[in-house]
Amino acid sequence: MPVAHHVLRHAHGPAADRVAVRGGERSRTYAELAADVVAGAGHLRATGTVTGDLVVLSLPDPLDTLVALLAVDHAGGVGLVGDPAWPGHQRSEVLRALAPATEVRTPLPRGHGGPPPSPGPAPDASTPAWAGFSSGSTGRPRAVVRSRGSWTASFEHVSRLTGTRPEDTVLVTGPLTSSLHCFAAVHALATGAGVTLAPSAPATTAALAAADVAHLVPSRLDDVLDALDAGMPSRLRTAVVGGAGTDPVQHERARAHGVEVVTYYGAVELSFVAIDTGAGLVPFPEVEVQVRPQPGTRLGEVWVRSPWTATGYLAGASGPLRTEDGWCTVGDLADLPTSGTPSLPADGALRLRGRGDGAILTAGATVVPEDVEAALRPVPGVRDVVVVGAPHRRFGAVVVAVVEADDRSGLRAHLERVARATLTPAQRPRRWYRLAAMPRTSNGKAARSALGAAVAGHDPSARVGDLTVLR
């Protein structure tokens, strides 16, 4: 958590008595938060934490987690937020693989008032300051480590692009184990704004009346728009959406309530790659983007050269991050630039087409799941849809659609009509399943890998809920 220094500076200025963070019924002003950070850091040092140590945080309460992250930073350690929803065996496996110096499982000691602690000199921007999990939907999470500067040097750009101001209240709508939500919190604190931690849908909608900016995944944006449609009081000005793409309907609904939607594309390993403030995804400031052609397809692989990228994975773990002469990729696909060269102009739109390993090869054709999902999602009665591939003896794989919807007659027939009208034969789903509620990761994304394993028969025990054939 690379902003403890910022918090201590705010405690010495006009923001000292402003609420810095609120979670449930609890809150801390900047002065109180600074005192807690210093007390927590002192406790960590007294119990053996030294500069550079990896400290895993296993705290169920997000406010306690945020305070502990700041304390780890002030103590010179590298904080890593664990997922409180992990079962015991998964948590044990993560700890065994990463071998942290310390695990924090109870709230750190609080400060006891007095004059604000001195922020001291600014810390070195090149030192490791945060680690976060990148896992996809299944499998053991791998931990990515990033330098302090790879976070803090982007703050000015983010403030300008999202319009975030010190007087704002920023709504963080998911768990801090997600880099999307963790970044939202640290950026707001560095700015001097207030942070409201609301990691559940009910908490998010309840906090709308006092929020100016919200950071969300698309599914949580739907929750917010539903609440606004229902008349929920709100002063929300900007919705910052990451984790997956938004659709035109969401933008139209948001505009009807005076809410600007700012969408960005990135990855835990790459940080910000491109941002859309209304004219399509264009490279984030100081980021160079190439879309390199891939053999056998009309798509290209997205490569990035940027000051915001991660250092790598902890404990020698492998993952999708690949590097080459200062360029990085995680295997995401995009349309090739019309210029005929791999490099995307600074004002050129990036059209993403999914992760390379998510493409479905069926009867010699490459099907990008997001293309099929975009065609089917607007069908009335469909809340969400995920497209995956299932093995097939003759075709290699077939396209399978898993639809989140109520059990209603005629829905499959309607979906098939839309598929015939809008999709090529290779893109049309050959199997259809229904769920009342789509399984999601802790970051709010659809659990695509678990769904794929279930429909392919690779993992009959995959937790995907009430999966039934759509009739």
Q: Give the pLDDT of residue 243.
A: 78
Q: Which residues contact 70 (CB under 8 A, 6 or more apart)?
A: 1, 3, 4, 7, 33, 36, 37, 40, 189
The string of pLDDT tens digits covering residues 394-414 is: 777 899 999 999 888 899 999
Structure tokens at 181: 């939500």
User: Helical H runs in 144-257?
Assistant: 149-152, 155-162, 179-191, 201-206, 218-229, 248-256
Q: Where are the domains of the chain?
A: 4-263, 269-357, 359-469
Structure tokens at 147: 């330098």
Q: DSSP 3-state assignment of 322?
A: strand
HSE, side-chain direction, 13 A CA sphere, residue 223: 22
Cα(118)–Cα(8) distance, integer angstroms: 7
Cα–Cα dist 164/170, whole Å: 8
CA-based end-to-end distance of the chain: 49
Amino acid at 46: A
- CATH T-level fold of 269-357: Luciferase; domain 3 (2.30.38)
Per the CB < 8 A criterion, the answer to whether 80 and 65 are in contact is no
d(CA 151, CA 427): 39
Q: Considering the domain delimited by 359-469, tell me its CATH architecture.
A: 2-Layer Sandwich (3.30)
Report helix angle 179-191 to 62-74, nearest 10. 70
pLDDT (tens digit, 9 = 90+) per residue, 77-104? 999 999 877 777 778 888 899 999 999 9
Q: Give the DSSP letter string of 419-450.
A: HHHHS-TTTS-SEEEEESS--B-TTS-B-HHH
Written as tens digits, the pLDDT of the chain (471 aa) is: 689 999 999 999 999 999 999 999 999 999 999 999 999 999 999 999 999 999 999 999 999 999 999 999 999 999 999 987 777 777 888 889 999 999 999 999 999 878 888 888 899 999 999 999 875 433 466 899 999 999 999 999 999 999 999 999 999 999 999 899 999 999 999 999 999 999 999 999 999 999 999 999 888 999 999 999 999 999 999 999 997 778 888 999 999 999 999 999 999 999 999 999 988 999 999 999 999 998 767 789 999 999 999 999 999 888 889 999 999 999 888 888 887 789 988 888 998 887 776 778 787 677 888 889 989 999 999 999 999 988 887 777 899 999 999 888 899 999 999 999 988 888 999 999 999 988 887 677 788 877 887 887 644 445 566 788 888
Q: Which helix (DSSP H) or strand (DSSP E) does residue 335 occupy?
A: strand 332-335
CATH architecture of residue range(s) 4-263: 3-Layer(aba) Sandwich (3.40)
